[in-house]
C-alpha cells in the first residue's frame, strides 16, 4: 500500500519541503534508501546520506538546515526520531492486514470475552474466564491461561505464554516466546538436603504501555503480585523474579536479571547483563553500566553505578585507572 508525503505530514503535523504527492510504500535506513522508501535523519553523523539518498521522503528535524540540494521530499517535524516511530507503527499495522474475525482458535465461548476489532490468528488457546480487550492482535501459537485480563491495543507475538491470573494493561507489547506468570523460583530446604517446592499463589500485573522482550520471563508472585509499572521496557532474555516491582518508565537491556522481591525505582536505566540481588531497593533514576551487579540498597537517586559489585561510576573509573597504572609498573 502506498501513502503520500502529504498524508504522512498531516498525520505527523509536519511541514512539506518538496513534492507533497510523492508516494512511499515502506521505510528504510537512510543509507539504504531507494525510490518508494521513507527514511529519517536525526544523527549528524549521517548528514551526507541526506544528499546521497535515493529515498522518496526523508523526515528531518525542523532545526535542520541543509548545506546542499536535497532531491528527496523532506518532512520537517519537531523530533524525527519520534516521528519515524509513528511511521513504523503505521507500516507495521499494514503488514498485519485487516482486523477480521478468526475462530480457528481454542477458547471457552461462554466464559471468555473478546473485544471489538481484535484479531486472533490460528492455533491460539485462551482459557476460562479470560478477557481480551478491543483492537488487540494475537499471533499464532499463543497460550493465554485462565482468568487472564488483557487490555486494549495489545500486541502478543507468536509463542508467548501468559499464565493464569495475569493482568496486562492497555498498549502492551509481548515479543515472541516471552513467558508471563510462570512459577517463581521458590523452594524450602529439607533436613535431608532436598527441597520442597513452595506454591506460587500470586500473579503478574503489567501496567499500560509495557513492552516485554523475546524470551524474557516474568515470574508470578509467591503471594500478592509481581508488578511491572507503566511504560517499562524490558529487552530480550531478561529475568524478573517473583514479587519484584519495577517502577514507571524503567528500561532494562538484554540478559538483565532481577532477583525476588527487589524493588526497582522509576526511570532507571540498566545496561546489558546487569544483576540485582533480592530483597533490596534501587532508587529512582539509577543507571547501571553493562554487567553491573547490585548487592545492596541504592538509596540516592540519580546515581550511575558500575562494576561487578557496583559502586559510583566516577569512583570506579578512578579505581580502574589505578589498576592499570599498577599493572604498567610491574
Find the domain containing 74 and state its range: 3-96
Asked which of 67, 96, 125 is the last residue of a domain, the reply is: 96
Residue for grid cell 492455533? 123
What would the pLDDT profile of 201-213 be if each residue is shown by its tens digit? Answer: 999 999 999 999 9
Q: Give the DSSP letter of residue 204.
A: E
Q: What is the pTM of this model?
A: 0.78
- What CATH code is carried by the domain that includes residue 267? 2.160.10.10
The pLDDT value recorded for residue 110 is 59
- Percent of the chain clearing pLDDT 90 (strictly above): 78
Q: Give the DSSP letter of residue 106.
A: B
Q: Is the pLDDT of residue 216 over 60?
A: yes
Regarding whether 214 and 90 lie in a shared domain, the answer is: no
Which has the minimum average pLDDT: 65-74, 100-109, 179-188? 100-109
Regarding whether 311 and 167 lie in a shared domain, the answer is: yes
User: Under a CB-based contact definition with an 8 Å cutoff, are residues 227 and 210 in contact?
Assistant: no
- State how many domains the chain has: 2
Q: Is the pLDDT of residue 327 over 70?
A: no
Answer whether residue 104 is part of any domain: no
Catalytic residues: 242
User: Under a CB-based contact definition with an 8 Å cutoff, are residues 270 and 289 in contact?
Assistant: no
Answer whether residue 324 is part of any domain: no
Answer whether residue 192 is part of any domain: yes
Asked which of 42, 70, 96 is the last residue of a domain, the reply is: 96
d(CA 234, CA 274): 12
Regarding whether 89 and 170 lie in a shared domain, the answer is: no
**Length reported for the chain:** 330
Top pLDDT among 93 and 122 is at 122
Asked which of 96, 121, 138 is the last residue of a domain, the reply is: 96
- For residue 292, the tally of other CB atoms under 10 A from its CB is 25
Regarding whether 298 and 165 lie in a shared domain, the answer is: yes
Regarding whether 91 and 213 lie in a shared domain, the answer is: no
- What CATH code is carried by the domain that includes residue 42? 3.40.1390.10
What is the grid cell recorded at 21?
A: 504527492
Regarding whether 87 and 164 lie in a shared domain, the answer is: no
Answer whether residue 241 is part of any domain: yes
DSSP β-ladder status, 233-234 and 211-212: parallel
Amino acid at each position: 500500500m502506498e501513502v503520500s508525503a502529504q498524508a504522512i505530514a498531516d498525520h505527523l503535523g509536519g511541514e512539506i519541503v518538496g513534492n507533497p504527492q510523492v508516494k512511499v510504500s515502506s521505510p528504510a535506513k537512510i543509507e539504504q534508501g531507494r525510490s518508494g522508501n521513507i527514511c529519517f535523519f536525526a544523527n549528524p553523523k549521517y548528514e551526507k546520506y541526506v544528499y546521497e539518498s535515493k529515498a522518496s521522503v526523508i523526515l528531518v528535524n525542523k532545526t535542520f538546515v541543509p548545506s546542499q540540494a536535497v532531491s528527496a521530499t523532506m518532512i520537517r517535524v519537531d523530533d524525527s526520531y519520534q516521528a519515524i516511530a509513528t511511521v513504523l507503527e503505521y507500516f507495521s499495522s499494514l503488514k498485519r492486514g485487516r482486523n477480521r474475525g478468526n475462530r480457528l482458535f481454542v477458547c471457552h465461548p461462554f466464559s471468555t470475552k473478546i473485544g471489538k476489532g481484535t484479531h486472533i490468528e490460528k492455533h491460539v488457546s485462551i482459557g476460562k474466564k479470560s478477557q481480551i480487550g478491543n483492537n488487540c492482535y494475537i499471533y499464532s501459537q499463543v497460550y493465554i491461561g485462565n482468568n487472564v485480563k488483557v487490555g486494549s491495543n495489545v500486541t502478543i507475538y507468536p509463542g508467548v505464554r501468559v499464565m493464569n491470573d495475569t493482568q496486562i494493561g492497555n498498549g502492551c507489547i509481548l515479543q515472541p516466546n516471552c513467558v508471563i506468570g510462570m512459577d517463581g523460583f521458590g523452594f524450602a530446604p529439607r533436613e535431608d538436603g532436598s527441597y520442597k517446592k513452595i506454591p506460587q499463589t500470586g500473579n503478574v500485573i503489567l501496567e499500560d504501555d509495557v513492552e516485554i522482550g523475546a524470551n524474557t520471563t516474568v515470574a508470578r508472585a509467591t503471594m500478592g503480585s509481581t508488578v511491572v509499572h507503566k511504560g517499562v521496557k524490558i529487552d530480550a532474555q531478561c529475568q524478573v523474579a517473583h514479587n519484584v516491582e519495577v517502577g514507571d518508565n524503567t528500561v532494562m537491556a538484554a540478559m538483565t536479571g532481577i532477583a525476588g522481591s527487589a524493588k526497582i525505582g522509576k526511570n532507571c536505566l540498566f545496561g546489558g547483563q546487569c544483576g540485582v540481588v533480592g530483597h533490596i531497593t534501587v532508587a529512582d533514576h539509577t543507571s547501571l553500566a553493562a554487567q553491573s551487579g547490585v548487592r545492596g540498597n541504592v538509596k540516592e537517586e540519580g546515581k550511575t553505578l558500575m562494576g561487578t559489585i557496583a559502586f559510583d561510576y566516577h569512583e570506579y573509573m578512578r579505581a580502574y585507572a589505578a589498576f592499570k597504572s599498577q599493572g604498567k609498573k610491574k
